[in-house]
Each structure stands twice: as structure tokens, then as C-alpha cells.
Amino acid sequence: MNILFVSISSMPDMESHSISLDLLHQLRDKGHRVYVVCAVERRENGETACSQEAGFTVLRVKTGNNKKANLIEKGITTVLLPHIYKSAIKKYFSDVKFDLVLYPTPPITHCDTVKFIKKRDGANSYLVLKDIFPQNAVDIGMMTKSGVKGILYRHFRRKEKKLYALSDRIGCMSQANVDYVLRHNPEVDPAKVEICPNAIEIRDMSVNPEVRAELRDKYNIPRDKKVFVYGGNLGRPQGIPFVIECLKKQKDNPDVFFLLVGDGTEFKKLEAFLQAEQPKNALLLKRLPKEDYDRLVAACDVGLIFLDHRFTIPNFPSRLLGYLQAKLPVLACTDPNTDVGKVITEGGFGWWCESDDTDAFGAQLDAAVAADLPAMGERGFAYLNEHYAVERAYQTIMNGR
């Protein structure tokens, strides 16, 4: 089968591991011919080119800047992207007939690209719905439903509905996401909406006590504390003001140490707080290379998930999988609409509280300090194997073929 995967990621190393790449590896290893269209942003100084890499045909398309770009530049890039992609596909893949086109969000503006492939080749289409835009932007104040920004909202909402209509099947991150899509888009056929969560090639990323001690020494992390680590984006979706309030309230807690690793629009806000308050039990690091980050996470005790309390859409953060792979239990502080907290608590590998209650955070922190963390980490690893192995995602996608 000829499969086209359309993404805005840059994918510089097709042999490395990520949620998207692990799925692509699975498709390749099952004997499918996989073609990838991905972006080369203007800042990378690359040109549109097609090459053979690690058993994939990869078309890298020059686009405007999207990551770490201001809202105007990001918006222009998002609007132009489908036209640029469609033109590149016509030029480089004119002699390829695709059987299936796979496309994760963001963005939701793949409509024209998907429509073109479906019409030209009669391909089936599968939307991997990783986030629900534009409502997520409305929730955290980046967009409004009225006024000037309301024009943008209505434009993207039309694109969202069009993408759902174009998609033969829609894979959602969790049951709460399935329910949300159907509740807010009653025109969508329920039969084509299913759970197809983020999934990875399962690897045991835990480390032994000796390596753990070496890593803690390397980064000046105390050996005798329970280390709570957050890794990933540090932006509006994470509700950084709440994170700061939690750190402030726990700054004299002698049992815990907080490690925050990442980058994003709110990084400087966190940095300013830590410089002003000088808590002895917190450390902020800029984003690390993936291999270094994975090893550092494994040297910690509990993984943290933060989501802004204003969200009405049920986000399901992919960083959960990284924590489980390192055999860390998880403490999630989120809005009440996502079901990630339910998954964690019912799975027996962590704790949950709402992300507007610092007292509740403190109580869950105490529970974590007193818990048998290695045993909970093993339960989380078992849950990962049962629910988030890439083979399961592959079977879900292929079941409709």
C-alpha cells in the first residue's frame, strides 16, 4: 500500500524516535511504501527537495516559519501551507497513486491537500486528531469568538468542520475527545470517530541507581529528595501562573525538588520568578537534546503534567508516554474536562488534582512522597505496554482498510 503522511514537523532524522516516527517505522516495517511530506521552515535555510531516507521517500517542503514565530507569521504560514504542500506533491509525486493519506493536527488546514489526494487517487483519509483547534485557542484567550479575532475563529472553525467532513475516519486521543467531537459537531458520523491515542515503540528507558546518582550530580539535583520533573512546552496551555503559585507554596518543603525542563513563550516568566524568589528546591533548564532529556527524566521520581484550568477541550498530553517509558508515576494538574487524570488514577500509576487549587496540589505531593514509587512506575510501564504500544495504533488505523 502507498501511504502518504502529511506533517508540519521538520523530521530531521527519520531513524530517531517520536510518536510520529514510531508509527511511520511500523508502517514501513509492515511492508507499506511510506511517503512523507514535512516542512523546512524559512529559518532553516533549506530548499524544497525529495530524498530517500531510512526506507522512506521524504519530501521536505520550504515553508514560512511556524515554530517560535509570532502570531502573525505563524498565521500566514498556516494559511499558505496547504497550497505550498499541494503544489509540491503535484510536482514530486505526480506518478504515485496513494491508497491512504494520514495527517495529524496541528494544523487543521490540511483540507486542500487531503481533498486533492482523495480526488486524484481515490485515497482513504485518516485524521489523527491530536488537538481541537480553534477552541483550544479561545479557551486560553489567544482567540475570541467575537470582534476582530472572531473573524479568525470563524475561518478556522469552518476549516475544522471541513477537515472532519473530508476525513473517512478520525482517530482521537481518548474517549473524552471522541465525546467532545461528536457533541460539538453533530453532523459528524459517530461511526467514523474512534480512539487512536498517541503511541510509541515501547522501550524501557529507566536507569539503574548508579546512573541515576551520576545524572543527579551532573545537573546539581539532590540525591536525597523526591524529584518531580516537568518536561516539554512552557507556554500558555500549561497554565504557568498556577505552576508558579505551586512552586511558591512548596519552596520550603524539605522532601521535594522540582525540575522544569523546556522552552516556550512563558519560559522567561518562570525564569524571572525563580531568580526573584531563589527557592532552593527548584531548577529550571532550557530544552535539552532528546537523548539527554530522556536520561535525565529517568533519574527523577515523579513526572508532572500541567494544563491550564480554563480549557474546555479535553487535551491529552503526549508527555505522559515519556514518563511511563521511564517508569515514573505521574502527578497531573489539569482542567476538569480532560480524562488524562482519570486514566492515571484508575490505572494506579499516579495522582490528579485540578489546576486551580494549590492546596490540592500539596496534598497530592504528600501522597506521592509517601507512596511506593517504583511499584507505581512498574504499573505505569505495564499500562503503557497494554494501551499505548505503536502496534495497537497501527491495527486501529488499518482495521478500516
Predicted confidence (pLDDT) at residue 157 exceeds the cutoff of 80 = yes
Greater confidence, 16 or 35?
A: 35
Q: Is the pTM of this model over 0.85?
A: yes
User: How much is the average pLDDT of 185-191?
Assistant: 97
**pLDDT score at 312:** 96
pLDDT 10s digits, 280-313 = 999 999 989 888 999 999 999 999 999 999 999 9
Greater confidence, 277 or 9?
A: 277
**pLDDT score at 8:** 86
Residue whose entry in the numeric block shows the C-alpha cell 485518516: 126
User: How much is the average pLDDT of 162-166?
Assistant: 95
DSSP code for 93: S
Predicted confidence (pLDDT) at residue 400 exceeds the cutoff of 80 = no
User: How much is the average pLDDT of 30-36?
Assistant: 97
DSSP 157-221: HHHHHHHHHH-SEEEESSHHHHHHHHHH-TTS-GGGEEE----B--------HHHHHHHHHHTT-
**pLDDT score at 344:** 98
Q: Measuring CA to CA, how many Å separate 213 from each of 166, 225, 299?
A: 52, 12, 7
Least reliable range by pLDDT among 137-151, 345-359, 386-400: 137-151
Residue whose entry in the numeric block shows the C-alpha cell 499541494: 86
Q: Which CATH class is domain 2-196?
A: alpha beta
Task: For the chain, give every residue range classified as CATH 3.40.50.2000.
Answer: 2-196, 209-387
**pLDDT score at 317:** 94
* Mean pLDDT, all residues of the chain: 93
**pLDDT score at 394:** 96
Predicted confidence (pLDDT) at residue 368 exceeds the cutoff of 60 = yes
pLDDT 10s digits, 68-120 = 666 666 777 677 788 899 999 999 999 999 999 999 988 787 888 999 999 99
**pLDDT score at 401:** 52
**pLDDT score at 72:** 67
User: Under the phi-then-psi rule, with left for phi > 0, alpha for psi from -120 to 50, and beta for the rest, what region is 68?
Assistant: left
pLDDT 10s digits, 229-260 = 999 999 999 999 999 999 999 999 999 999 99
Of 164, 159, 155, the C-alpha closest to 183 is 164
Q: CB 206: neighbour CB atoms within 10 A?
A: 18
Domain 209-387 has CATH 3.40.50.2000: yes
d(CA 29, CA 278): 50
Q: How confident is the model at residue 226 (pLDDT cuts 50, 70, 90)?
A: very high
